[in-house]
Chains A and B, each alone.
Chain A
C-alpha cells in the first residue's frame, strides 16, 4: 500500500542516545550505555516500518526518541521534510560520509566539509523535530502518538475511561465539552468498544480492552504517525489478532504511518512493509519485509529468523542456535557488536565495525560478509528509499 512516492512522515538521521553510567566513590560518570547508536530510517505515509531486535537492543528507546519523549544525544529527525530537503540531506550525508573517518578522529576537516556541516545544521534548525521549541513541539505532539506495551500501567487507574481518552483533546483545547464527549464515544466505537464503557475505570477491563482504550487515546487527535511499542506482546493470540486487525483497518482508513516495534517476528511480518533489525543499539539490516524474510543476509537476522518457532510439527528445520547471551550495551564488544555470538565470525569482525552498505536494492546490511555495495545502476533504478540508506551509513554531523 505504501508506494515509494508516498510522502515521508518521519525521517531519522543518525539518531543517537547515550545514557551515562555513574559509579565510583563520588558517583562520577564512568561510561555510557549506547542505547541507540546512529539509527536512520524513513517512515512514509500509510506505511508500517517494523523495528525488531532482542530485549535491550534499544528499539524501544528509538521509538521514544522519535517522539522526543527522550532527548537525543545527537542526530536529527525530520517531520514531513519537503522532498527537495530530503534529497539535499541525502547528498550532504553521502558527501560527509566520504571523510567521516577523519571527522571521528576529530581530525581537521576541509573547509567544504565545514560548509556541508553548517548547511546540515541550518537544515536541522529549520526542519528538525529535535530543534523545535517547546510550544511548536506541543502543537506537533498531536500528530505523533504512541501505544504502549503494558496495557496495565499505561492507563491512569484513578481516571474514568472517558477522561483518559478526552485528555489529549482537553490539552489541545479541541472543541467544546459536548463535542469532546461525542468524539470519545465515536473513538470507542472505532476501536470496537461499547460507548457505555466510558463510564468505567481501567481496572474493570481485560488486557485486550485496555489496549483498545490505549489506541483510542492515541487516535484522539487524528495523528499521522503512531509508534506501536510492542502493542500485543502482553496479549493472548486471539486478542492479539483482534488488535492487529484494528490497527490495520485504521491504517487503511486514515493512511497512518506506523513504527511497529516488536520482538515477535511473525507479527512484524504480518504487519509491516519494511523491517529494521537492531542489535545492541545499531541497525544491522534494513530491507523490505519480503526481501528480509525470504533472503536474510546478516547472520544475526538469519539466526533470529531460524529461532522463531513455527506452529507446524512437521517442519523440522535445522536451527542456528546462537551461543551465549546478548552482551551488555554498557560495554559492547569492539568492532561488529555481534561477533561474540556470530556463527560466521572472521578475524576482522572483532576489529572493524562494518559499515551499512546497500548490497541489494533497498536491502542494507552491516556485515563483513558483504563488503561490496550494490552499485550497477543498470540492474534497477535505485529507489530513493534505497538511496538515503546507502548515503547515511556512517556519517555523523558533529554540529548536531
Chain B
C-alpha cells in the first residue's frame, strides 16, 4: 500500500532523525558536526525522493560546505573538540527533553488532525520544474528573492563587522 516513494521518504527521514539525535549524543564535536552534515544530506535525499530535484541537489551541495565550516568553528571554540574527556556539555536536560517531546507531539497532532485537502497531481518533470522555478524567482517573486539576497549580504557584512577585532587605534588606552 505504501509506494516506493513513501518507503524512500520514510527511510531517509529515519536516517535524518537518527543523525539528528547523534548530533547531540556524541561527545566529540567534529563527529556531531559531521552527523548534522549527513542528517542534512539525508534530508536532501528526501527532497530528491519527493521529486524536488533542484532543491535536493541544492540542499546537498550547500549543507556540505556549511556543515564543514560548522565543524571548523566547533574545533575552534569548543574546549575539548575531540570529546576524549567525556565532558558533560548539557544542562537542564529534563526540561529540554520534555519540551522537545511536547513540540514533536504537537507537530504530529497538527499533521494528523488537520485535513490537508485533496492530494495534488503528479509534479512536472525536473527540467520543467527548474525552468518554472527560475521564471517564478525572477518573475513574480523577484522582490522577495532580491530582499533575501540583500539580507544574506547584510548578514555577511554584519557578521564580519561583529567578528573583526576592534582596531587598536593608537589614541586609545
A, B assembled together: no
Interfacial residues, chain A to chain B (CB-CB below 8 A): none
